[in-house]
Amino acid sequence: ERRGNYLDESPEAACVRREIYEQLYRQLTALEERERQILLLHYNSSLSFQEIADQLGCHINTVYKVHRTALQKLRQTLAPLYDR
């Protein structure tokens, strides 16, 4: 776990970071199943878009589109947290 990176963090920064993580979790769980699945396969399992397409039995362009849409949704909902 990376908590060691936050040892020198101020209480305010820790609170903001925790809020961002909680909001990210809520937004990830609010995504459509296919969107969440593609994000997790790409970022957690480090699969390429072609590998994801093969695994899900769909065209690579579908994976690109779903990935892009999911990221746009996350950016829209999380951007206010970073604009403080």
**pTM of the entire predicted model:** 0.76
pLDDT reported for residue 1:
43
Burial of 50 (0-12, 13-18, 19+ CB in 10 A): exposed
Task: Report pLDDT digits (tens) over 13-48.
Answer: 888 888 888 988 999 999 999 999 999 999 999 999
Residue 19, token pair as written in the block: 């809020």
Question: Whole-angstrom Cα distance, residue 73 to residue 78?
Answer: 9
Task: Report pLDDT digits (tens) over 43-68.
Answer: 999 999 999 999 999 999 999 999 99
